[in-house]
Amino acid sequence: MNSNPLSWLQKDSVFLFSIALITISWFTWLIKKSKKGAISLPPGPRGLPLIGNLPFMEPDLHRYFTKLSGIYGPIFKLRLGNKLFVVLGSPAMAKEVLKDHDTIFANHDKMAGALVATYGGSDIVWSPFGSNWRMLRRVCVQELLNAGSLDASSIFRRAQVHQTLKDLYAKIDTPVDVGEKLTQTIFNSMTSTLWGSTLKGEAETGVASEFRQAMGEIGRLLGTPNISDLYPTLARFDIQGVERKMKGVISWFDRIFETILDQRLKIDKEAGEKKSNDKGSLDFLDILLKIKEEGDPRTPLTMTHIKALLMDLVSGGVDTSSTTLEWAMAEMLHKPETVKKAQEELDAVVGKDKVIEDSHLSKLHYIDAVVKETLRLHPPNGFLIPHTPSESCVVGGYTIPKDAGVFVNLWSIHRDPSLWENPLEFDPDRFLTPGNKWDYRGNDFRYFPFGSGRRICPGISLAERSLMYVLGSLVHSFDWRLPEGTKLDLTDQFRGVIKIANPVIAIPTPRLSNPDLYAMH
């Protein structure tokens, strides 16, 4: 027997050391094996500790993202604070997210400011994918924005466009701020489509001007990196005051919505029944209130949903449409041969002794091509609303982690020289070539200005009609020229949407044969 009491301890130490060494080696092998089999994150620029790439961000995000795509490829990552973002810049990458893995990417990345602007995400844009979202989309697509409803509400849009022609006729040979006039026209057109004549006297120049300022502020707030979004643990402090400022802007809209709803709900039963039986006079608010009363109790349409949908249609529809129309007018003024082609078509289809009606739109192929080319070269939502995956997903051979923000750089795809001939040239004829199948359905990921998949814009039909009708009316009813000694500046800037940086100022001259056509209302 060994009398040394330390001998067992020594043997045990060697044994324990051996076990520890084997255990460490085993864990090291497991880690190496897991890393070997893991799919890495996309490449991207290095950032700084805690703040990531925030100090290096540039204000015009569409150009900044495009520059980084040139360095890192069609999929790259950015770390902004604690938040990981992935930017996609090719049709193949867009297809993987918006079609192949559409269900996984069916949610939009939540932004604190956007949730404030939409009554806590009660709208169709920010509502999470699920039963409520399906109900809201059904309401929009099947009830509000179907062909029958759009036909029935065309009388409201027609009246506002005729009022614009009348206003411009009173200012012939006088410089006009085209963007401001277009905002007023689209705002009045949209609001009259939404709630008819309920808001008498308020949807005029002053309100449209206030609206433009309010939308500019919303765009600025949404376009500013928000600490609440990038550092979720700090969200409750609202350090930059984005939510507080957004509440102030949205309160202006909410006062209008509350006034409209209060007035509409005071309509007596007899007047309501009479109006509900008169299909031709229905505005969108009539339809929404009727759905609210008759809706499915399992997923009811509430008054909050109604106000959120009104906010979607007013803010999204007006700002993007007026921005697109201002770009179209700017590009046509910059390239006068496009105006000539458009007017030749308009004179042949409509004639100089009439004004445009909705029934003419299907025959105005060149105007349609001008709108499509404008949305190619200047998509207002230059990289769509960011999506977020409900689970980690492999895209382009790289892992996009759950809850990452995903941008699709539509602006870059629409200008890619490998996809488009002379991509920086404004050329509507490219949409008139034989066999051309370009449309807005989002099935071709070289051209999808309204998005694609489940979250494609539900207002495509209304936007298409409005854009063609307003643009066609302005070009058909007037010749336009720049003030003497001025030049067009086609520089753009990102302010929530991609706008023209400097106002388009132009002078209208009437071209219709009968002056009385400008007095129609």
At 358-382, the pLDDT tens digits run: 999 999 999 999 999 999 999 999 9
pLDDT value at residue 197: 61
pLDDT value at residue 61: 92
**Per CATH, which fold does 54-519 belong to?**
Cytochrome p450 (1.10.630)
At 1-40, the pLDDT tens digits run: 444 433 333 444 443 344 444 444 444 444 444 444 568 9
**Mean pLDDT across the chain, nearest whole number?**
88
At 442-475, the pLDDT tens digits run: 999 999 999 999 999 999 999 999 999 999 999 9
Tell me, letter by letter, the H, E, C secondary structure of 486-498. Answer: CCCCCCEEEECEE
Residue whose C-alpha is closest to residue 252's, from 205, 201, 217? 217
Q: What distance in Å separates the CA atoms of residue 113 and residue 145, rounded to the nearest whole number?
A: 27
Q: What is the pTM of this model?
A: 0.88
At 177-220, the pLDDT tens digits run: 999 999 989 988 998 898 876 444 444 556 767 777 887 788 78
Q: Checking DSSP bridges between strand 393-395 and strand 497-500, what pairing results, if any?
A: unpaired
| DSSP alpha helix (H) spans, 38-129 | 61-72, 91-95, 112-117
Whether 266 shows a pLDDT value over 90: the answer reads no
Which residues touch 259 (CB under 8 Å, ≥6 apart)?
199
Whether 276 shows a pLDDT value over 60: the answer reads no
Share of the chain above pLDDT 90, in %: 70
Q: What distance in Å separates the CA atoms of residue 316 and residue 496, rounded to the nearest whole number?
A: 11
| Max Cα–Cα distance, the chain, nearest Å | 126
Q: Is the dihedral of CA 103, 139, 126, 209 positive or negative?
A: positive
Give me the residue spans of the domains in the chain: 54-519
Q: Mutual orientation of helices 336-349 and 365-377 as an angle, nearest 10°?
A: 150
Whether 121 shows a pLDDT value over 80: the answer reads yes
At 156-165, the pLDDT tens digits run: 899 999 999 9
Residue whose C-alpha is closest to residue 204's, from 256, 136, 244? 256
DSSP run (H or E) holding 183:
helix 178-195
